[in-house]
């Protein structure tokens, strides 16, 4: 699994695949389309302006299989090093352990305190994040009746190398 940093010239590709992901997430969240047929994502441009935000394409070999977006802004008032804002492996590549491989790569590269939030309605996400964070002994914080935040530390990481 390879993480490839999204560059400014990749903006349109990230926008397009993020829209598809956001549409899939309407199974769990009550988001509505705007007048142009898009789902609102208020922080999208910040990934190209805020150096604290990072976006990656996920590649298995030469195949784009998903993306991940991270930042350091807590969902629960904490002070994490990283928050997994968005993450997906495209449906046609699921059930091949690629999401777990991508998570392992991300957590290995960006060591430190993490938050990962998921919808309790999203059984696949709940299973994935509980499984891949199990070794880090996460604390579970209930945001509300429908969302959980896992808080954990992955160690030193390799991002500074």
| 8 Å CB contact between 153 and 112 | yes
Q: Is residue 137 part of a domain?
A: yes
pTM: 0.89
Residue 61: inside a domain:
yes
CA distances (Å), origin 160, targets 4, 49, 102, 112: 16, 21, 19, 12
Residue 161 belongs to a domain: no
The structural domain count of the chain equals 1
Task: Find all residues with CB under 8 Å of 109, minimum gap 6, and list them.
Answer: 3, 157, 158, 159
Q: Which residues contact 29 (CB under 8 A, 6 or more apart)?
A: 119
83: domain range? 2-153
Task: Please give the chain's pLDDT, 161 residues, in tens.
Answer: 999 999 999 999 999 999 888 877 766 667 776 667 666 778 999 999 999 999 999 999 999 999 999 999 999 999 999 999 999 999 999 889 999 999 999 999 999 999 999 999 989 999 999 999 999 999 999 988 899 999 999 987 666 54
Contacting residues for 25 by C-beta, under 8 A, at least 6 apart: 31, 119
């Amino acid at each position: 699994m390879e993480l490839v940093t999204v560059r400014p010239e990749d903006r349109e590709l990230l926008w397009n695949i993020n829209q598809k992901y956001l549409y899939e997430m309407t199974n769990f969240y009550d988001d509505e389309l705007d007048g142009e047929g898009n789902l609102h994502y208020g922080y999208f441009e910040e990934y190209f302006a805020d150096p604290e935000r990072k976006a990656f394409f996920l590649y298995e070999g030469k195949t784009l299989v998903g993306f991940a977006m991270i930042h350091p802004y807590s969902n629960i008032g904490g002070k994490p090093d990283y928050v997994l804002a968005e993450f997906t492996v495209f449906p046609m590549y699921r059930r091949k352990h690629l999401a777990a491989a991508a998570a392992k790569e991300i957590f290995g590269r960006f060591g430190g305190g993490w938050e990962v939030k998921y919808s309790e309605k999203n059984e696949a996400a709940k299973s994935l994040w509980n499984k891949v964070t199990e070794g880090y002994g996460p604390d579970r914080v209930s945001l509300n009746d429908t969302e959980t935040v896992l808080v954990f530390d992955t160690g030193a990481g390799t991002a500074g190398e």
